[in-house]
Amino acid sequence: MREHFGEKLRAQALELQGLEERLEELRAAHRRLEAEARDQFEALGNPESSSPSTPLADVLAAARRPLAATSPRQLFSLLAEVSHRLGVRAVVFEVRGEAAWASAAHGFGASLNEQTLRSLVVPLSVETPFRGVFNLGVDVSGTSEVLSKNPNVLSRLKPDALDSILLLPIRAGGTVAAIFYADSGGCGALPEDALKLLAEFAGAQLERLTALGGSAREATDYNGPSV
């Protein structure tokens, strides 16, 4: 009995050591990401940048908020919220199985209530821009014409014909775990560099939450911002 108990303790100690090593790897990755982010922040202030200039203080504040999330659900809500503060309408789709399910949105007002949002599902088995983002991990940009193969998205999100639209992968654990949708909502071009940076930070935080078992620990007292 004592020998069996000792073996069990040793196994648990090895498991704990492995988890600690993984957490240290994630911390190191986070430090690298922050270093890269500083370079990107400087690029955002460059007048030669291809996307609209966003005040660095705004980008810094926006990028830090998703890092405070304690669950994937809260992370997606914060990502949508801070993106809206940068002047866009945003939806985060969580990848589950062979579909992307709308999880959080901000900037749509009464035109997109909670029930409508939760019913928005995009199949990833059909050739659409969403499938391209998921399978290839690439960015997709354009006008509302980009969504011509996603009539359910068009009918619910209702972007203007000339709105700028951006679809970004949110990567965690080597896979695309979510898809980030943003449109300009009739307010001109998108701050693409800032949004791409937010997607990178969100992916890093999602990977940490997954390593810590965050996917099974939803924040029950967090309802998220209104859509």
DSSP 96-141: ETTEEEEEEEES-GGGS-HHHHHT-EEESSS-SHHHHHHHH---EE
Domain ranges, ordered by start, for the chain: 2-216
Instruction: Identify the pLDDT of residue 214.
Output: 44
Place of tokens 């911002």: 225
pLDDT tens track for 13-61: 667 666 666 666 666 655 665 555 555 555 544 444 444 555 555 666 6
- Reference 157, options 194, 211, 120, 123; nearest CA is 120
Please say whether the structural domain 2-216 has been given the CATH code 3.30.56.10. Answer: no
Lowest mean pLDDT among 9-23, 51-65, 86-100: 51-65
